Structures are given as structure tokens and as C-alpha cells.
């Protein structure tokens, strides 16, 4: 008999998982507290913006249905994925308020279920949350015993917004934290049928899996921050070029090229908070996660240094265009966006700020209401801008050509160096690629002074 699935929470990850599982031939029930999300899914439409989601939901509409009822999902599924928000609290930890409420609802319905249900938490939590925070709720509300009557796993996904469906169906690996062997084995078998690329699976205790999730994200942000540090140094060396340095570093198999690219700091809904959470966990355990805390502080300091530098480039009364308001390309999410931060900071400094993003315009307009004018077209930005800041490496910006810059002369600060071949050395365009030497003469003089005492004297 085919496994029946349910997904609690129809946000970006939940809706994408439901559609992806259905695309593999399985029946899926989606649950959300938002009636509009339920209505859209039942109509075959995406409740959120995510690459390929609308098309996949429409193509698999016959195998997906959505409901407001947790009871319906519990009674009619064998494996239930729980994907609800776990926002950061004032301590830097992950709050369980929403997932705890979901577990209360699941537990009450579980009391009526006669067969086994494997409950799989996907949301990011700190070690101990699944076993100590959520399991007691499920057992209390259901009157049943985990292991005997139902299963409980922690199995986070390692996805990126904008490519959620692809990342879910073809992950580097599957991570399963298991209460016992039964629930872990069942989930591993499910993943073997769902995933398209037959990835390796690592099964471990609930607590080890919870730690692995935040450890992976903090390691990635450390790598990003290291590349940004190299970019900062390259700007101060004669002929400095961060791309030359990181390209060579990435050839070493111990390092690799992924996430090793100097640019603006990281942002989004996950990366910034995971370093803070790991620091909190370490303090609670009587230790210190100095590396995670330093990564977080270095990332925040980077944007401040960039704003200070930009103020030296922007003439009084100039119009500055920020291209890229989402925290990354292919996304409308503006949480912890470096582009948003730049727009606000430069507005406070007295610049007239205009902005554009291919996907995030509508999301950004309320956030920038008193700081910047979000324009409906890229050409409108370029027609007005004295200074252009390329804040994301979006393909729309990569496609820009000299002829697109009609307001000349113009200064262009390219934080990702995507327009180097097109704009470098062109008349009336002052092109500044972030992460490369700003002033070879001054940089050489600095090195000459550093090593002057080491130069042998000739008598």
C-alpha cells in the first residue's frame, strides 16, 4: 500500500514539498491556518511565490488537497511533515510557540487514530526541542506512547529559497534524527522513493540532527564571511583581485568553490539567525561559540564599512539607484537584505535613493516607504541615477550593457563584479568592482612603507 503523506504548513518549503512529493506519484494533504492558502492549493495555484511551484501544483492537482483541519490530515496520512515557523526570540533561540500549537492539534487528533503515524519535524530548532519540548505535548494530548503508537523524527531540509523544489528532490544528503529505529527506517525508505538523485542518508539521534542543521548553516556563513574578508583585503593590495584568490582557493578539495565569493554580506531568513542561535546554545551549555559569534558580528560590520565607503563616492544631492532588494537573486524575500540596508543607510545619510528588483519590488515598497522610491522598471532607475549599486547578481542585472546607462557620467559599484567585462574602462562610466584594488598607487605605497625596514641598505 502506498504511503500517504501530509504537510503541516503551506509556506515556501511546505507548499513546495507537498507539490514535489505529489509529483512523485503520492497523495498529499496540506494543512494551513490561512484559509486563502488552502483555497489556492485546492484550486491548483501556489499560495506563495517560489520557482516552479505554480506549475507543479497545477500538474499534480489530482494528488493534492488542502484543508484547515489537522484532524483530517492525521487520520488520513501515514507520514506527516511539520513545517511551521520557529522565529528567533529575544535570547537568540528558536521559539516553539507555533510548532507547539501544531503539536497540540496533532496530538488531539492522534488520540482518535488507530494506526501508526510517523511525525517528522522539519522546522529549524535547537537541540533538545523535539524530545524535551514537543514529544511531551504529543504524548499528553494523544494519551499514546511514542515508539509504540506513533513515530517522531527530526529531518530538516537544506534548501535555498528560489530553488526549493530542485533542492528538495535532489539533495546532497538526507538527515534523519530518529526517536527509534522504526520511525527512522520508515522515513529513510520514504526518502528513497521521493528523492530523484538517490542521495546518501545519515541517521542519528534527535539531538545530533538538531545540532547538524544549525552547524551546517553556520559553517556556510563562516565561509561566506571569510571570502568577504579576502575581498576587503584585496581592495587594499596593489592589483588585488578577490576572484583570482578565491578561484585558486576553491581548487583545493578541502575548501571547494561553493559560497567562496567575495561580495555583500549574507542575509535572508535563516543564515543570520543560525549563528546567533548557536552562540545561545553554547552559552546555555556552559561553553562559547566564539567563531559563530564572530561570523555574525563580522557580517554586520561589513555593511557598515561599505556604507561609510559609499558616502565618500556619492556627491551631495546625488541620486543613488540600488539594484537588488531581495536578499539574493530569484527571490522576493527581503529579510536581512543587504540591498534594503544600503538603501536605508544612504537615505539617512542624505542621498536620494531609488531602487528596483525583478521580484521583490512589491515586498520592498512598504519596507522602504520613507527611505527610497521603488521604481517599476530597471530603465527608469538607470535614467535617473548618478550612482548605481549592483547589490545582487541577478541575471537581469548581468544582462546590462553600456547602452542601458543613458544618464552619464555615472558611477557604478558592482558588489559581485558581474559587469566587469562590459563596463570596465568605458567612457563616462566610473566602474568600481568590489573586492579589487581601489588605488594601486596608494596600495603600493602602503606596502612599501610596511617593508621599508626590511630593505637592505647599500653603503
DSSP 403: G
Tens digits of per-residue pLDDT, 216-261? 999 999 999 999 999 999 999 999 999 999 999 999 999 999 999 9
Tens digits of per-residue pLDDT, 264-297? 999 988 888 999 999 999 999 999 899 999 999 9
**Residue 359 contacts residue 331 (beta carbons within 8 Å):** yes
**Residue 151 contacts residue 119 (beta carbons within 8 Å):** yes
| Cα 181 to the center of its chain, rounded Å | 32
Q: Note the pLDDT of residue 459.
A: 60
Q: Note the pLDDT of residue 453.
A: 77
Q: Note the pLDDT of residue 408.
A: 93
Checking DSSP bridges between strand 150-154 and strand 174-178, what pairing results, if any? antiparallel
Distance CA 262, CA 275 (A): 19
Q: Note the pLDDT of residue 22.
A: 97
Stretches in the chain below the pLDDT threshold 50:
none
Kindly give, in sequence order, each residue whose CB lies less than 8 Å from that of residue 141, ignoring residues fewer than 6 positions away: 103, 104, 106, 107, 108, 110, 111
Q: DSSP letters along 92-142, please?
A: SSBP-HHHHHHHHHHHHHHTT--S-EEEEE-S---TTIIIIIIHHHHHHHH
Q: Is residue 270 annotated as part of the catalytic site, yes or no?
A: yes
CB 246: neighbour CB atoms within 10 A?
A: 22
Closest Cα partner for 128 from 209, 227, 7? 209
Task: For domain 5-204, give its CATH number from 3.40.50.720, 3.30.460.80, 3.40.109.10, 3.30.70.580.
Answer: 3.40.50.720
Distance CA 179, CA 28 (A): 24
Please state whether the predicted TM-score (pTM) of the whole model is above 0.85: yes
Listed in order, the ranges of the chain carrying CATH 1.10.1040.10 are 215-297
Domain 215-297 CATH assignment equals 2.102.10.10: no
Q: Annotate 224-245 with b (16+ C-beta within 10 A) or e (fewer).
A: bbbbbebbbebbebeebbbbeb
Listed in order, the ranges of the chain carrying CATH 3.40.50.720 are 5-204
Q: Annotate 281-300 with b (16+ C-beta within 10 A) or e (fewer).
A: bbeeeeeebeebbebbebbe
Please name every residue paired with 177 in a beta bridge, in sequence order, or none if there are none: 154, 204
CB 16: neighbour CB atoms within 10 A?
A: 31
Q: Note the pLDDT of residue 317.
A: 86
Catalytic residue chosen out of the listed positions 234, 270, 381, 424: 270
Amino acid at each position: 500500500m502506498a504511503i500517504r503523506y501530509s504537510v503541516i504548513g503551506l509556506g515556501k518549503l511546505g507548499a513546495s514539498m507537498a507539490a514535489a512529493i505529489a509529483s512523485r506519484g503520492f497523495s498529499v494533504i496540506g494543512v494551513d491556518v490561512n484559509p486563502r492558502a488552502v483555497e489556492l492549493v485546492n484550486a491548483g495555484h501556489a499560495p506563495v511565490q517560489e520557482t516552479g511551484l505554480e506549475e507543479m501544483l497545477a500538474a499534480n492537482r489530482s494528488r493534492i488537497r488542502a484543508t484547515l483541519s489537522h484532524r483530517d490530515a492525521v487520520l488520513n496520512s501515514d507520514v506527516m511533515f511539520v513545517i511551521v515557523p520557529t522565529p528567533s526570540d529575544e535570547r537568540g533561540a528558536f521559539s516553539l510557540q507555533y510548532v507547539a500549537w501544531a503539536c497540540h492539534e496533532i496530538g488531539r487528533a492522534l488520540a482518535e487514530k488507530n494506526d501508526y503515524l510517523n511525525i517528522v519535524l522539519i522546522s529549524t530548532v535547537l537541540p533538545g526541542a523535539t524530545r524535551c519540548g514537543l514529544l511531551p505535548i504529543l504524548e499528553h494530548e494523544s494519551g499514546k506512547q511514542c515508539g509504540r503508537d506513533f513515530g517522531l523524527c527530526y529531518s530538516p531540509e537544506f534548501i535555498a529559497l528560489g530553488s526549493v523544489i530542485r533542492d528538495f528532490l535532489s539533495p546532497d544528503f538526507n538527515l534523519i534524527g530518529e526517536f527509534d529505529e522504526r520511525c527512522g527506517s520508515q522515513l529513510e525508505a520514504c526518502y528513497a522513493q521521493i528523492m530523484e538523485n538517490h542521495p546518501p542518508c545519515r541517521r542519528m539521534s534527535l539531538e545530533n540532527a538538531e545540532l547538524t542543521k544549525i552547524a551546517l548553516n553556520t559553517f556556510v556563513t563562516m565561509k561566506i564571511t571569510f571570502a568577504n574578508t579576502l575581498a576587503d583585503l584585496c581592495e587594499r593590495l596593489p592589483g588585488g583581485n578577490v576572484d583570482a584568490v578565491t578561484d585558486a582557493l576553491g581548487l583545493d578539495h578541502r575548501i571547494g568553490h561553493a559560497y567562496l565569493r567575495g561580495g555583500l554580506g549574507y542575509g535572508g531568513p535563516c543564515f543570520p539567525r543560525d549563528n546567533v542561535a548557536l552562540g545561545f546554545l553554547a552559552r546555555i551549555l556552559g561553553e562559547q561559540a566564539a567563531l559563530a559569534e564572530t561570523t555574525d558580528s563580522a557580517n554586520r560590520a561589513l555593511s557598515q564599512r561599505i556604507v561609510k565607503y559609499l558616502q565618500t563616492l556619492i556627491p551631495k544631492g546625488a541620486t543613488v539607484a540600488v539594484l537588488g532588494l531581495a536578499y539574493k537573486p530569484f527571490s522576493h524575500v527581503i529579510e536581512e537584505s543587504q540591498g534594503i540596508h544600503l538603501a536605508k543607510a544612504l537615505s539617512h545619510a542624505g542621498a536620494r535613493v531609488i531602487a528596483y528588483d525583478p521580484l521583490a519590488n512589491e515586498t520592498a515598497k512598504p519596507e522602504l516607504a520613507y527611505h527610497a522610491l521603488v521604481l517599476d522598471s530597471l530603465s527608469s532607475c538607470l535614467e535617473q541615477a548618478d550612482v548605481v549599486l549592483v547589490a545582487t547578481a541577478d541575471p537581469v542585472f548581468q544582462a546590462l550593457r553600456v547602452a542601458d546607462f543613458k544618464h552619464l557620467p555615472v558611477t557604478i559599484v558592482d558588489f559581485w563584479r558581474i559587469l566587469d567585462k562590459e563596463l570596465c574602462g568605458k567612457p563616462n562610466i566610473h566602474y568600481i568592482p568590489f573586492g579589487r584594488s581601489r588605488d594601486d598607487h596608494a596600495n603600493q605605497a602602503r606596502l612599501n612603507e610596511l617593508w621599508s625596514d626590511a630593505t637592505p641598505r647599500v653603503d
